[in-house]
Structure 1
Amino acid sequence: MIVKYCGITKEEEIQHLQQLPIDYVGFVFYKKSKRYVEKEQARRLRAKLKPSIPSVGVFVEEEIPKILELLQEGIIQGVQLHGEEEEAYVLKLKQEMEKLGTKPFLWQAFILKEEKDIERANASHADLILLDGGKGEGKEAEAGLLQKIHRPYILAGGLSPENVVEKIKAFSPYGLDVSSGIEEQGEDGVRKSPEKMQSFIRLVRGYEREIL
């Protein structure tokens, strides 16, 4: 099961998480997010991250040239769309990404609220879809709607060390994406908790070993 720790903003967070058996790190390039990072900040974070962990840029209806620039400069290795991007946009971005030659991947997130969201998610041309209950607010996706998805997906929204095993058992997702569930309040504001980061992945990998 793939695991992505998203909303990374600090070098000390990189230092802790890259000692753990996670698969991806997410940098948020959406200015309205409290986890927003600027390009140069993301470059510094990427430089501290070991090459074996790909970084994913999270975007909300961003201009395609800006996304391609981050890919070309090696700041990110993959793209996650988290807005209301139309299929024409997804296809155009995918086409442009394929020209880069570095085999970047494209994920598309869907906030499940009603039936049309299920239809869009099942039909997406993205390499992989992510299912959420909000845009970084820690809201859980509607269980009844999750059951109607007919392709592999990454589960996001409201995940934490307290409920992650329960969610895996209930939905058998292809992957997990966590942000607020591994955070704590620090002196300098909200930050990723080393203890929660370690606990989350320990529970996930422990459950995987149990069922093998």
Structure 2
Amino acid sequence: MTGLKIKVCGMRDPKNIDAVCSASPDYIGFIFYPKSKRYVGDNPDESIFSRVPATTIKVGVFVNEDAPKVIEICQKYKLQVAQLHGHESVDYCREIKNAGLTVFKAFSVFDDFDFGQLNAYKEVVDFFLFDTKGKLPGGTGEKFNWGILDQYKLDTPFFLSGGIRPEDCEDLNNLIFEHLFAVDINSGFESEPAVKETDKVSSFILQIRKKQKHTI
């Protein structure tokens, strides 16, 4: 694992987006799931997305949305990535990928999680994202047992999500999973839903990147 990337998810407020982007995250996520507390809303203004600098990749997060609608939204708002957080099938992921989008497929992980089910997806997704299993799709604000990732044997890189907080920097920097590509932060850095505490985000990014520079 080298050069751990950072995704800040659940953004919506323009000024907060500007402040977070000043810390230069690698990815920024926008949630298009109406049941989420961080839903961007119906027909959000394009300026929410266009203000993101080109150096930060824009991710749209969807849950069991119709594939053509996902493609339409990503094209409209110039989102490079579709993150799929529902029960999307292999064929569904293929349709999204064939539209020219990068595909993140999220799976909720628990102690008896069967990593074998991922084999069918490895040709149609670019990254997996492992989150904590909850009652509803999306984040729970809680961690899962990261040790279970020792069972992951595919070559597809993955994002680690679920309850990550500012104080987790040291533990994250000490992880040695070969295909860990990025960490996904959200509620652990918020003052309220969709509003990030930018000082915490900036400090976290700085600490992660400082450590990575010393280990590459």
**TM-score under structure 2 normalisation?**
0.86
User: Judging changes above 3 Å, is the alpha-carbon distance between structure 1 residues 2 and 31 closer, same or farther for their aligned structure 2 residues?
Assistant: same
Deviations 1:58-97 (A, max 9, x none): 00110011111122223411100011212222123222x1
Q: 1:45 aligns with which of 36, 45, 48?
A: 48
Counterparts of 1:19-98 in structure 2, within 5 Å, are 19-38=22-41, 40-41=43-44, 43-95=46-98, 97-98=99-100
Deviations 1:182-203 (A, max 9, x none): 1114xxx662101111111011
Counterparts of 1:35-184 in structure 2, within 5 Å, are 35-38=38-41, 40-41=43-44, 43-95=46-98, 97-98=99-100, 104-113=101-110, 115=112, 117-124=114-121, 125-134=124-133, 135-150=138-153, 151=155, 152-172=157-177, 173-184=180-191
Q: Secondary structure at the match of 1:206?
A: helix
8 Å CA contact 1:58–1:79 kept in 2: the answer is yes
Instruction: Report the alpha carbon displacement of residue 116 of structure 1 after superposing the two structures with TM.
Output: 5.0
Amino acid at match of 1:194: T
Deviations 1:9-34 (A, max 9, x none): 10111111111131111000011110
Amino acid at match of 1:141: F
Amino acid at match of 1:107: F
Deviations 1:82-133 (A, max 9, x none): 11212222123222x13xxxxx211101111255541223442311111111
For residues 57 and 160 of structure 1, the distance between their equivalents in structure 2, rounded to whole angstroms, comes to: 22
8 Å CA contact 1:131–1:156 kept in 2: the answer is yes
Deviations 1:127-178 (A, max 9, x none): 1111111421222133242111123211011111101330231344211111
The runs of 5 or more residues in structure 1 that have no matched partner are: 99-103
8 Å CA contact 1:27–1:42 kept in 2: the answer is no
Q: Secondary structure at the match of 1:167?
A: helix
Amino acid at match of 1:166: D
For residues 126 and 25 of structure 1, the distance between their equivalents in structure 2, rounded to whole angstroms, comes to: 19
Amino acid at match of 2:27: Y
Q: How big is the alpha-carbon RMSD for the aligned residues of Structure 1 and Structure 2?
A: 1.9
8 Å CA contact 2:129–2:160 kept in 1: the answer is yes
Q: Secondary structure at the match of 2:59?
A: strand
For residues 138 and 164 of structure 1, the distance between their equivalents in structure 2, rounded to whole angstroms, comes to: 16
Q: Secondary structure at the match of 2:167?
A: coil
Moved more, 17-26 or 136-145: 136-145
Amino acid at match of 2:206: R
- Total equivalences in the alignment: 203
8 Å CA contact 2:11–2:194 kept in 1: the answer is no
Structure possessing the higher relative contact order (Cα contacts under 8 Å, 6 or more residues apart): 2
Q: 2:9 aligns with which of 2, 6, 9?
A: 6
Moved more, 137-146 or 30-39: 137-146
Q: Secondary structure at the match of 2:86?
A: coil
The runs of 5 or more residues in structure 2 that have no matched partner are: none
8 Å CA contact 2:107–2:128 kept in 1: the answer is yes
